[in-house]
Amino acid sequence: MNRAAVIGWGLFFNVAHQIRAVLTLHQAGACGAASPNRRSALECAITLRWCVDQGDRIGDIYNRKLGNDQIQLAKALKADGTKDRYKDAYKIMVDTVEMVRKTIAPDPNERLVKIDNLIKGYALANVWSFYTVESRFTHPTLTSAQLFFKTEGDAFHVSQAPLHEEMVACQLFCLWIFHFAMLAFNEVLTGKPWTSELERIAMDYGFETTLPQWQGPGDLHAQ
């Protein structure tokens, strides 16, 4: 089994799922609420690009991450006193952590499960700016609070709905990020069947026709 292709499949349709959510909110006039979805779509698309680049090795990297995530969840269940209530699930977590520890060696590229390391490693400076702004609207910040109030001269206005109807051009964003994801996933499909159509779309909208290349520290494929 090609683990990169299988994980890539999941990431690709995660992008598609998030895009559907963005467009649904856009049609409802709630673009401000779509920041988490746009952010997640961006994360999955860039991770998909890395997945294609990294190859089968990404399976072990993500299993290591799963092991670490299970440790954190197990600690949380112990801390809130619900370990015994979910004893079957808890045992699965313990078994998973033990299996990962015994069978999968640490990998220097585990650092790349952090999206900021991927964005910077692929030198996507414009994407980093966009991602940083979207993060402000995704989390509780003054920026996200200011969607609902503003000052004009001596007047102070409050609102129950966002004062900015569309944070980005949602439909163009969705087309761009889906094109990026398709460009990446096309690399693992036999015969790269989407190539000509992706080139036509790129020409029509000014998108890139090639994937960004790794420019971060070290060799991406070094063990």
Whether the pLDDT of residue 166 is over 70: the answer is no
Query: Is a pLDDT exceeding 70 seen at residue 165?
Result: no
How many separate domains does the chain show?
Answer: 1
* DSSP category for residue 139: S
Q: What is the mean pLDDT of the chain?
A: 92
Backbone angles phi, psi at 128, to 5 degrees: -60, -40
Q: Which residue has the tokens 């598609």?
A: 16
Confidence of residue 31 (pLDDT cuts 50, 70, 90): confident
Nearest Cα neighbor of 175 from 19, 43, 35 is 19
Q: Tokens standing for 39?
A: 């952010």
Residue appearing with tokens 């989407």? 194
Lowest mean pLDDT among 22-26, 34-38, 90-94, 204-208: 90-94
* Cα–Cα distance measured from residue 152 to residue 75, given in angstroms and rounded to the nearest whole number: 49
DSSP secondary structure code for residue 160 in this structure: S
pLDDT tens digit sequence for 75-133: 898 899 888 888 888 888 889 889 999 999 999 999 999 999 999 999 999 999 999 99
In a domain, 210, yes or no: no
pLDDT band per the 50, 70, 90 thresholds, residue 38: very high
Specify the pLDDT at position 209. 94
H/E/C letters for each residue in 164-203?
A: CCCCCCHHHHHHHHHHHHHHHHHHHCCCCCCHHHHHHHHH
Is the pTM higher than 0.85?
Answer: yes
- Answer yes or no: is 213 within a domain: no
115: in domain: yes
220 found inside a domain: no
pLDDT at 129: 92
Q: What is the pLDDT of residue 223?
A: 61
User: 143 lies in a domain?
Assistant: yes
User: Does residue 214 carry a pLDDT above 80?
Assistant: yes
- 116 within domain boundaries: yes
At 44, is the pLDDT very low, low, confident or very high (cuts 50, 70, 90)?
A: very high
Q: Output the pLDDT for position 59.
A: 93
Q: Domain span at residue 16?
A: 3-205
Domain-located, residue 221: no
154 assigned to some structural domain = yes
Residue 1 has pLDDT above 80, yes or no: no
